[in-house]
């Protein structure tokens, strides 16, 4: 009798709905990369089928990053208005629609090459726009579903999900194209967006208190510390949330620092394979193996960096806890890039490049946790600004690195990447993650 009374009086343990939400966010990240990178892999088959030249294909491939960069901030603001449940479901459905529309294109002869280029550019621009809000909305959902100081590890895990999506696309799509053709291959992949949208809509909710499966103990765990953090926010004064984010010093500084981090990211992502083959003399097969190993290292780094950041945030607070993993990761990336540029042994350089990608990605979760803390309930808008800077840096990297390498050689070009890494570490010193934008919207 007494034991029964004691058991019934014991406080309930928090439920685990937030971790199921995280699994679905990881699935959304995975599907996003599964459905966005198909054109680069299908390029040889599509160019032959549609009768397009390399120059024409270059125009088509330029449309995705343009749409992706332009709709980051707007997508984050839109997601803040409609909620993450509806926002992520809608864009996931759009991913499936866009890949299906691409599969419906007629072959060469049914339309002129100019018409096909224009249509494909429009489709790819819309593909970029549809994928743009995913990570700002993922960050906003994590802000709502995880406690203060516990945002970096979930963001790091969703970044690991995108690396898996890239790996699956790179291995599965060539087999599908070789077996059933690029159109049918696209149609096989298209339902993935519909499936993840339906699953997300069925299970997810915008806030813990709206979810029937989340008990009061889990809601209390998630809410802990929010009032103290929001007391550091300034008074809104009726200013729209998007304008508050754009005018916020810390939001702008972390965006600049993250852009520097992404310059290093694009050194490996855009140029790593080329560098190993053309500069360091690896065979294409060996370079492909090394590139896959680099992506694996990046995925592990993203998870570990987020885990370390959350532990530090609990011990040191948001300001220093988010800052230190970024400083360490960026300075390590800088030193490793210098090793890549200067070491004479190709294999050592390849290993150092993989280690650089590992340390580069250890900062991913801490950066998004910093942006989330600054944005608070407007984490979608803050994340949109953050990722706008990141993707614009991809454009800068493509032009600057190629120009430097062509004129001065790859040693200097890689060294410039190290300088960007140091700049990112310096900029983060001036960012206060414990001072959010005004929340009384």
The three-point CA angle 317-323-327 to 5° equals 150
State whether the Cα torsion 50-51-57-63 is positive or negative: negative
- Please report the domains of the chain, with CATH numbers, ordered by start residue: 17-213 (1.20.1250.20), 242-428 (1.20.1250.20)
CA distance 57 to 123: 13
Residues 6+ apart with CB under 8 A from 348: 339
Strand partners, 111: 108
* Residue 151 CA: distances (Å) to CA of 25, 138, 194, 253: 13, 11, 27, 19
Q: Considering the entire predicted model, what is its pTM?
A: 0.78
DSSP, res 436: P
Residue 293 is predicted with a pLDDT of: 82
Q: Which structure tokens are listed for 104? A: 């419906």
Q: Which structure tokens are listed for 215? A: 């008990």
Residue with structure tokens 């429009």?
A: 122
What's the number of CA atoms in the CB half-sphere (13 Å) around residue 83?
A: 12
Q: At what angle do helices 191-203 and 84-103 cross, to 10 degrees?
A: 170
CA distance 349 to 353: 6
Residues 6+ apart with CB under 8 A from 46: 39, 52, 182
CA distance 418 to 260: 10
Residue 204 has phi, psi (to 5 degrees) of: -80, 155
What is the rounded radius of gyration, in angstroms, for the C-alpha atoms of the chain? 22
From the list 417, 318, 421, 297, the residue with the least C-alpha distance to 366 is 318
CA distance 134 to 24: 12
CA distance 327 to 137: 26
CA distance 338 to 348: 12
What SS3 class is residue 196?
helix
Residue 111 has phi, psi (to 5 degrees) of: -150, 160
Residue with structure tokens 């550091």?
A: 232
Residue with structure tokens 């410039």?
A: 416
Residue 59 is predicted with a pLDDT of: 81
- In residues, how long is the chain? 441
Residue 379 is predicted with a pLDDT of: 79
Residue 108 has phi, psi (to 5 degrees) of: -60, 140
Q: Are 133 and 75 in contact (CB under 8 A)?
A: yes
Residue 108 is predicted with a pLDDT of: 67
Residue 130 is predicted with a pLDDT of: 93
CA distance 193 to 144: 23
Residue with structure tokens 């370079």?
A: 287
The three-point CA angle 424-305-310 to 5° equals 105
The three-point CA angle 425-427-428 to 5° equals 70
Task: Encode the chain (441 residues) as per-residue pLDDT tens digits.
Answer: 454 444 444 568 889 899 999 999 999 988 888 888 677 677 778 888 888 886 787 788 778 878 888 888 888 889 888 999 999 999 999 999 999 999 988 876 777 888 888 999 899 899 989 998 998 899 889 888 988 878 888 888 888 777 777 667 766 777 888 889 889 989 999 999 999 999 999 999 998 999 999 899 988 888 887 776 666 555 555 677 778 888 889 999 999 999 999 999 888 877 787 788 888 988 877 877 787 788 888 888 988 999 999 899 889 988 899 999 999 999 999 999 999 999 999 999 999 999 999 999 999 989 988 988 888 878 778 888 888 888 888 778 777 887 888 889 899 999 999 999 999 999 999 999 888 877 654
CA distance 154 to 307: 8
Residue 383 is predicted with a pLDDT of: 84
């Amino acid at each position: 009798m007494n034991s029964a009374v004691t058991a019934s009086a014991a406080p309930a343990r928090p439920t685990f709905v937030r971790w199921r939400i995280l699994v679905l966010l990881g699935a959304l990240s995975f599907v996003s990369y599964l459905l966005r990178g198909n054109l680069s892999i299908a390029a040889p088959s599509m160019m032959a089928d549609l009768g397009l030249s390399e120059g024409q294909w270059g125009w088509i491939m330029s449309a995705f990053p343009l749409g992706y960069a332009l709709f980051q901030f707007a997508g984050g603001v839109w997601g803040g208005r409609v909620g993450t449940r509806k926002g992520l479901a809608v864009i996931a459905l759009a991913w499936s629609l866009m890949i299906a529309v691409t599969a419906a294109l007629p072959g060469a002869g049914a339309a002129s090459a100019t018409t096909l280029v224009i249509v494909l550019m429009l489709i790819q621009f819309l593909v970029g726009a549809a994928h743009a809000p995913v990570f700002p909305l993922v960050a906003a959902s994590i802000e709502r579903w995880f406690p203060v100081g516990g945002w970096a590890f979930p963001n790091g895990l969703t970044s690991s999900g995108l690396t898996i999506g890239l790996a699956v696309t790179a291995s599965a799509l060539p087999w599908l194209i070789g077996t059933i053709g690029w159109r049918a291959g696209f149609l096989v992949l298209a339902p993935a967006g519909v499936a993840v949208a339906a699953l997300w809509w069925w299970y997810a909710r915008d806030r813990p208190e709206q979810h029937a499966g989340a008990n009061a103990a889990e809601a209390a765990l998630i809410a802990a510390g929010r009032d103290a953090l929001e007391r550091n926010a300034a008074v809104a004064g009726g200013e729209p949330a998007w304008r508050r984010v754009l005018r916020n010093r810390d939001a702008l500084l972390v965006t600049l620092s993250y852009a520097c981090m992404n310059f290093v990211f694009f050194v490996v992502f855009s140029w790593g394979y080329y560098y190993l083959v053309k500069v360091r003399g690896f065979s294409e097969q060996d370079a492909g193996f090394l590139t896959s190993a680099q992506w694996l290292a990046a995925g592990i780094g993203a998870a570990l960096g987020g885990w370390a950041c959350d532990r530090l945030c609990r011990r040191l607070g948001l300001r220093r806890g988010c800052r230190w993993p970024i400083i360490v990761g960026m300075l390590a990336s800088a030193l490793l890039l210098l090793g890549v540029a200067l070491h004479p042994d190709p294999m050592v350089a390849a290993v150092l490049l993989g280690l650089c990608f590992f340390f580069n990605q250890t900062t991913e979760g801490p950066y998004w946790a910093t942006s989330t803390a600054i944005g608070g309930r407007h984490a979608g808008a803050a994340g949109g600004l953050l990722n706008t800077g990141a993707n614009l840096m991809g454009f800068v990297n493509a032009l600057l690195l190629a120009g430097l390498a062509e004129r001065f050689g790859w040693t200097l070009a890689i060294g410039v990447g190290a300088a960007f890494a140091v700049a990112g570490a310096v900029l983060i010193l001036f960012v206060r993650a414990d001072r959010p934008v005004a929340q009384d919207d």
